[in-house]
Amino acid sequence: MVEPNDAVAAAQRAIGYQFRDDGLLTTALTHSSVANTRLCSNERLEFLGDAILGTVVCDELFRRNTEWLEGELTKVKSVLVSRRVCAEISDELGLTELLILGNGVDNRGNLPTSLRAAVLESVVGAIYLDGGFEPARGFICRVIEPHLIRCSEQENHDNYKSALQQYVQRWRASTPKYEALDEQGPDHSKCFEVCVVIDGQRFPSAWGPNKKDAEQEAARRALEQLLEADALSSGGKRSAQ
């Protein structure tokens, strides 16, 4: 079983937020199987965090996708707040490994999706109680970002230019530019080479049968490289402040 003090210290590093009252984080990591009573487990924090997570995701989707109708917003929101995605994020952050569990369920290789998802929601609730809405919002936006982009791409029918612009404007306060590098072939069947440039940095170029398709593929490659680079930097953690 994970020692509570060790779990709290590791969890604070994983989520990028320093608690003033680390007892809240201890509770967020404590499953009912090991708690003295269910009131001492993470179940109440899970309830609170679920509501905050849904609010932040709805707000982000509403602001980013100004041309989406209610049905499109609802569809993507339901995916982003699903147990599957929340469980994946818990695994990515290492929160699943830090759960404080009773001996009867302490099998890290086979934890239910619902249990893994609950710890993320509980941590959101704990951050909210400790620091307020903005730190909780910052944490949610950071960890949900790759999933939000992928879901939005699918709903936008692979509109990588739009997804890249949203990502760059949000996290780098910049705007991607597209540079035509080359064109080949006869007039009736030309191919075009395009690359993305962000703050002077060139990303891998792409060819297409027209400039629009070449730009979409170049945007996809740039977005993929950015997501990989940001995931590697500092363990994929931006400040949750």
To which H or E segment does residue 53 belong? helix 43-64
The residue from 46, 88, 121, 230 that is catalytic is 121
- Catalytic residue from among 50, 88, 130, 217: 50
167-175: average pLDDT: 87
193 a catalytic residue: no
Residue 236 binned pLDDT confidence (cut-offs 50, 70, 90) = very low
- 214 — pLDDT class (breaks 50, 70, 90): very high
- What are the boundaries of each domain within the chain? 4-157, 160-233
Q: Is the pLDDT of residue 157 over 60?
A: no
CATH code, residues 4-157: 1.10.1520.10
Of the chain, the end-to-end C-alpha distance in Å amounts to: 31
Average pLDDT over residues 71-83: 91
> 4-157 and 160-233 share one CATH topology?
no
Mean pLDDT of the chain: 87
Question: What confidence score (pLDDT) does residue 172 get?
Answer: 85
Q: Reduce the DSSP state of residue 56 to 3 states and report it.
A: helix
**Among candidates 48, 212, 69, 10, which has minimal Cα distance to 130?**
48
Q: 38-50 pLDDT, tens per residue?
A: 777 899 999 999 9
Active site residue 182: no
**What is the CATH number that goes with domain 160-233?**
3.30.160.20
| pTM exceeding 0.75 | no
pLDDT of residue 116: 92
pLDDT score, position 234: 47
DSSP, collapsed to helix, strand or coil, labels residue 156 as coil
